Amino acid sequence: MNISSRIEATLLVQRRDLLRQVTEEATARRLPLYAVGGFARDLLLGRRVRDFDLVVEGDAIPFARALSRAHGGRVTAHTKFHTATWFLPPNLVSDARGAEALDFISARSETYAHPAALPTVKLGTIADDLRRRDFSINALAVRLDGEQFGELRDDLGGMTDLERGLIRVLHPNSFVDDPTRLFRAVRYAERYGFKVEPETEALIPTALVYVDKLSPERLRHELDL
């Protein structure tokens, strides 16, 4: 399924121009590039796209630095998690309310040493990256580079859950690994008028005990959202 026409129709002109600059760099470097999570989800729901989580099959840090060298701005690298944030130069910020930064993520897998721990990450493929995500509706990816621009990847049934209006985790230990997902499940259900899928809802009671293991900062962040 190709949704390139939706991208062109939905994104503001300034956002399209910024995305084109990013995709041209990825194409030139032969790096598979995907917009994952909220970008695909909201695009398919016909909502304004606010999230630009960009996943590179490769190392995201030198890719972000190459964009900074070509277009300006600065980059903050997070080597432990193989991610980078490109703080855009003023000429690439779409408007006063526009995103001032883009996050680039290296496709990766994650493991958790204990409940509520920060993940241990390992570079991987886009398939690995989709499987590590919280809910099926956030495990959709849109290819952005080269001739495959606009191709939708749905390995885990996210499209079906979008159509049915369901919030579904990807594995039984999802809430135990990361209890912040409990808050996110409620947030997405309320935001979109969805329901928590019954098997997912059944996992909530036993996971509640792990909320106390979250750091105050992580808990506060979810409550703020």
How far apart are alpha carbons 160 and 157 in whole angstroms?
5
Q: Does residue 122 sit in helix, strand or coil?
A: strand
How much is the pLDDT for 22?
95
How much is the pLDDT for 95?
53
How far apart are alpha carbons 22 and 206 in whole angstroms?
43
**Residue ranges in the chain assigned as alpha helix (H):** 4-10, 13-29, 38-45, 60-71, 126-131, 158-164, 174-177, 180-192, 198-201, 204-207, 216-224
How far apart are alpha carbons 183 and 191 in whole angstroms?
12
The pTM of the full predicted model, rounded to 2 decimals, is 0.90
Comparing CA positions, the residue from 79, 43, 86, 39 lying closest to residue 63 is 86
The separation between CA 18 and the C-alpha centre of its own chain, rounded to angstroms, equals 18
Comparing CA positions, the residue from 17, 2, 7, 29 lying closest to residue 145 is 29
Beta bridge partners of 141: 36, 153
The separation between CA 88 and the C-alpha centre of its own chain, rounded to angstroms, equals 19
CA triplet 124, 127, 132: central angle to 5 degrees? 80
Contact 34, 116 (CB under 8 A): no
Residues of the chain predicted below pLDDT 50: 96-97
Q: Are strands 33-36 and 140-143 parallel, antiparallel or unpaired?
A: antiparallel
How far apart are alpha carbons 8 and 12 in whole angstroms?
8
Q: Is the dihedral of CA 221, 37, 42, 182 positive or negative?
A: negative
